[in-house]
């Protein structure tokens, strides 16, 4: 939009009556749209009630007589019940209604969801462009966030540069040793199974650990492609980066942590060696 008219200003502030945002409780707290509960951690999942409420709102007439737009942020965080509740809305969204699902990949949502959507892919932004946007938004640590963003402003803003626990750092180190190690090949099958079991049960810590792993792999892929000496061939780093991202998406979607990590660590074709 133009960014200056009344509709654009209301949309930007979250006050437009025909724009409906669906997100997890944790994301709402991060954006300052909900108050944190001192007794428990906010849920990182999008729960079924949020999609049922969206279905009710989309059955109402548009307040301003135009289009109604629903945006599901981090759609891969919908649990299975929530995705099933969304199916009816996707099949019969109503007239002048658009439902937008934002996810890292179409495989991050159920096939029944993906098959009912039109796919629109966006290329990652250049690091300098991410830095410029972060600077314009007044984000702290813009340089570090841009470096770790992998072309995504949303990821840059969501990075918790100080909040990751010691457990997350330890898990990231264990997983790196199992996947890569000092020789670029990683550990034995037994060592990888032990790593999956030792990764911990706290979903947030494991997601932080996988995010750190993605950062290291992204650096290896980028530097290796540029000719630098890195712990593994850059194409292998790129492939591992994709696998780790899918694993993190599965865990965010409530998959069993240990089973998801075992699938990552024991996947065929992981053998490799140091190189450029």
Q: Which two tokens stand for residue 234?
A: 């850059």
In-domain check, residue 40: yes
Say yes or no: 146 and 210 in one domain: no
Task: Report the pLDDT value the prediction gives residue 165, as an integer from 0 to 100.
Answer: 60
Instruction: Find, among 61, 82, 60, 80, the residue nearest to 72 by Cα.
Output: 82
- In this structure, the answer to whether residues 110 and 205 fall within a common structural domain is no
On whether both 84 and 136 belong to a single domain, the answer is no
Instruction: Say if 248 falls within a structural domain.
Output: yes
In this structure, the answer to whether residues 201 and 227 fall within a common structural domain is: yes
Whether residue 57 sits in one domain with residue 11: yes
- Asked whether residue 16 is domain-assigned, the answer is yes
Among 26-30, 163-167, 238-242, which is the least confidently predicted range?
Answer: 163-167
pLDDT mean over 67-84: 91
Query: Looking at 92-101, 152-161, 174-183, 201-210, which range is the least confident one?
Result: 152-161
Between residues 164 and 77, the one the model is more confident about: 77
pLDDT in tens, 178-211: 888 877 778 888 888 888 888 877 887 888 888 8
Answer yes or no: do 173 and 98 share one domain. Answer: no
Name the H helices within 22-148: 25-30, 48-58, 80-91, 111-114, 127-137, 142-148
Domain-embedded: residue 276: no
Question: Quick count: other Cβ atoms within 10 Å of Cβ 21?
Answer: 18
Q: Please check whether residues 13 and 40 belong to one and the same domain.
A: yes
Burial environment of residue 171 by CB neighbours within 10 A (0 to 12, 13 to 18, 19 or more)? buried
Looking at the structure of the chain, the number of domains it has is 3
Indicate whether this model's pTM tops 0.75: no
Residue 52's pLDDT band, with cuts at 50, 70 and 90, is very high
Compute the distance between CA of residue 74 and CA of residue 236 in angstroms, rounded to an integer. Answer: 27
Same domain, 66 and 11: yes
The range of the structural domain enclosing residue 255 comes to 166-265
Query: Is 27 a residue whose pLDDT tops 90?
Result: no
Q: Is residue 274 part of a domain?
A: no
Q: Decide if 97 contacts 59 (C-beta within 8 A).
A: no
End-to-end CA distance of the chain: 44
């Amino acid at each position: 939009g133009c960014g200056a008219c009344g509709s654009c200003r209301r949309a930007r502030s979250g006050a437009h009556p025909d724009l409906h945002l669906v997100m997890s409780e944790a994301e709402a707290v991060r954006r300052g749209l909900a108050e944190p509960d001192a007794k428990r951690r906010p849920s990182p999942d999008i729960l079924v009630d949020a999609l049922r409420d969206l279905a009710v709102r989309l059955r109402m007439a548009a307040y301003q007589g135009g289009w109604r737009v629903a945006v599901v942020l981090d759609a891969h965080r919908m649990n299975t019940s929530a995705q099933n509740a969304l199916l009816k809305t996707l099949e019969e969204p109503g007239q002048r209604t658009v439902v937008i699902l934002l996810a890292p990949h179409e495989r991050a949502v159920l096939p029944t969801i993906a098959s009912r959507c039109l796919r629109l892919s966006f290329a990652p932004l250049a690091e300098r462009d991410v830095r410029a946007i972060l600077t314009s938004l007044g984000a702290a640590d813009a340089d570090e966030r841009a470096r770790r963003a992998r072309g995504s402003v949303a990821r840059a803003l969501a990075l918790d540069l100080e909040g990751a626990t010691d457990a997350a750092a330890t898990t990231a180190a264990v997983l790196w040793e199992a996947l890569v190690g000092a020789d670029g090949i990683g550990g034995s099958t037994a060592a990888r199974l032990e790593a999956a079991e030792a990764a911990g049960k706290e979903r947030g810590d494991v997601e932080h650990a996988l995010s750190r792993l993605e950062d290291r792999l992204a650096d290896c892929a980028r530097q290796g492609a540029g000719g630098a000496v890195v712990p593994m061939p850059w194409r292998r780093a790129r492939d591992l980066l994709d696998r780790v991202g899918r694993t993190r998406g599965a865990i965010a979607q409530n998959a069993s942590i240990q089973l998801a990590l075992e699938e990552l660590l024991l996947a065929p074709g992981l053998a490799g060696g140091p190189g450029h």
